[in-house]
Amino acid sequence: MSSNIKKIAITTGGGDAPGLNAVIRAVTLAATKRGWECLGIRSGFDGVLHPEDFPEGGTFPLTPDVVRGISHTGGTILGTTNRGNPFSYEILQPDGSVDKEDISPRLTESFKRHKIDALVAIGGDGSMGIANQVAKLGITVVGVPKTIDNDLEGTVATFGFDTAVSYATDAIGRLHATAASHRRVMIVEMMGRHAGWIALEAGLAGSADIILIPEIPFDLRKVAEKVKERNSRRRPFSIVAVAEGAMPIGGTEMYHDAGGVKKLGGIGEYVAEGLRPLVENEVRTVVLGHLLRGGSPTSRDRLLSFRFGAAAVRALAEGKRSVMVALDPPTVSYVPLEECTRRTKLVPLDCDTLATARDLGTCFGD
């Protein structure tokens, strides 16, 4: 099937991730090569929903000159937001309360006004869910999977994940020396709301002694036993890698107050407080947080971003719609948006990486 596309738009939504700019460059160059115009939308869909909020304009042309030299940079030149769902848009009321309204008709009107023939939506599970709804409005949409958590169904990997794991692994490696010097237990909290892929892979690669992930509720006594076991060795220190969404058996996710808003986080300090009366070591906590999202993408993430961006344009050229590009080694394939948004890709309890960690003596608190 051929397409009659003349102009496409690109949007980035949700949390930022290393590799976003590389995708934008790939889409722009591949589209330009086909004679298409390329338009960047600022801050998710806000650039077309509320262009008046952007003094520099809610949209701008993406050309080879504009995207030159951005592939190695972090963040996104388009900007992004976690609160731009046009189907449930937050509207601040005069009394300070927030209502949610469906303003998607404004989106379709804006696309018609800008003469946009298709959309490349780059984002994670939330953004792909929105992209699926946008496609149902009659807009041609191709999604590109982005999340450092690697928790999107339908693709072997998402870009941003390798960079996050590499940074977390390096951080854990750096903590080995100071933990050994002071005979400490060092707890490293990292992102991973529902899926523990980052903590699992970085923990294993960084030789963490204990890894706590959302998929395996933990018992603090089991964690303490592992610490005591290591204390009987020549170098009595322990490294604990914990995903922010990990929780104790029978417990719930940990949240902290951030300016009156509840944010996921704090599990590292919870584990530290629970361990202190159970072990002799001094216990310290390091929270990697948004450091995992920043910086230059690894070569693997950069290459995956290029492949995804080019594949998205090929999908449009072939007349595809309502699909997400997905890594299906050795190729990039197309997965229906409806399918990739049904569930979160969790760490399987029988996966080889988890089995390897157990064989090497890693404790998961169970």
Mean pLDDT of 231-238: 86
Among 264-273, 277-286, 307-316, name the one with the lowest average pLDDT.
Answer: 264-273
Contact between residue 147 and residue 124 where contact means Cβ atoms under 8 Å apart? yes
What pLDDT band is residue 261 in, cutting at 50, 70 and 90? very low
In this prediction, residues 73-100 reach a mean pLDDT of: 86
Is 147 among the annotated ligand-binding positions?
Answer: yes
Q: pLDDT digit string (tens) for 101-159?
A: 888 899 999 999 999 999 999 999 889 999 999 999 999 999 999 999 999 999 999 99
Q: How far apart are CA 316 and CA 118, in angstroms?
A: 8
254 is in an annotated binding site: no
Place of tokens 């951080």: 171
How would residue 255 be classed by pLDDT, with cut points 50, 70 and 90? low
Is it the case that residue 257 has pLDDT exceeding 60?
no
Q: Whole-angstrom Cα distance, residue 155 to residue 332? A: 9
Euclidean distance between CA atoms 317 and 261, whole angstroms: 43
The whole-angstrom separation of Cα 311 and Cα 159 is 14
Query: Which pLDDT band, with edges at 50, 70 and 90, does 263 fall under?
Result: low
Q: What is the mean pLDDT of residues 59-76?
A: 95
The percentage of residues in the chain with a pLDDT greater than 90, rounded to a whole number, is 79
- 148 annotated binding-site participant: yes
Average pLDDT, the chain: 92
Q: Quick check: do 7-159+297-329 and 163-294+349-359 share a fold? A: yes
Q: What tens digit of pLDDT does each residue of 322-341 get? A: 999 999 999 999 999 998 88
Q: Going by DSSP bridges, is the β-strand pair 323-328/140-145 parallel, antiparallel, or unpaired?
A: parallel
Residue 193 labelled as part of a binding site: yes
Active site residue 53: no
- Consult the annotation and say whether 194 binds a ligand: no
For residue 226, what is the enclosing H or E element? helix 220-231
Active-site pick, 46, 117, 149, 301: 149
Backbone CA torsion sign across 193, 196, 202, 208: positive
Distances in Å between the Cα of 41 and the Cα atoms of 10, 79, 87, 187 are: 6, 9, 17, 40
In the sheet where 185-190 sits, what is the strand order? 210-212, 238-243, 185-190, 283-287
Give the pLDDT confidence score for residue 340 in this predicted structure: 86
Q: How many residues does the chain have?
A: 366
Contacts of 123 (CB under 8 A, 6+ apart): 11, 12, 13, 14, 130, 131, 143, 144, 145, 146, 147
Smallest CA-to-CA distance from 157 within 28, 363, 13, 330 is with 330
What confidence category does residue 265 fall into, taking pLDDT thresholds of 50, 70 and 90? Answer: low
CATH number of 163-294+349-359: 3.40.50.460
Contact 14, 76 (CB under 8 A): no
Architecture of domain 7-159+297-329: 3-Layer(aba) Sandwich (3.40)
Q: Are 12 and 45 in contact (CB under 8 A)?
A: no
At residue 264, the pLDDT reads 65
Among 146, 62, 134, smallest CA distance to 322 is for 134
Helix (H) or strand (E) run with residue 227 in it: helix 220-231
Say yes or no to pLDDT of 96 above 90.
no
124 labelled binding-site residue: yes
| Both structure tokens of 334 | 């197309």
Distance CA(364)–CA(366), nearest Å, equals 6
Q: How far apart are CA 349 and CA 366, in angstroms?
A: 12
If you average pLDDT over residues 7-23, what whole number do you get?
94
**What tens digit of pLDDT does each residue of 270-306 get?**
999 999 999 989 999 999 998 999 889 999 999 999 9
Task: In whole angstroms, give the CA distance from residue 136 to residue 100.
Answer: 20
pLDDT at 311 over 50: yes
- Residue ranges per domain, the chain? 7-159+297-329, 163-294+349-359
CA–CA separation, 13 vs 11, rounded Å?
Answer: 7
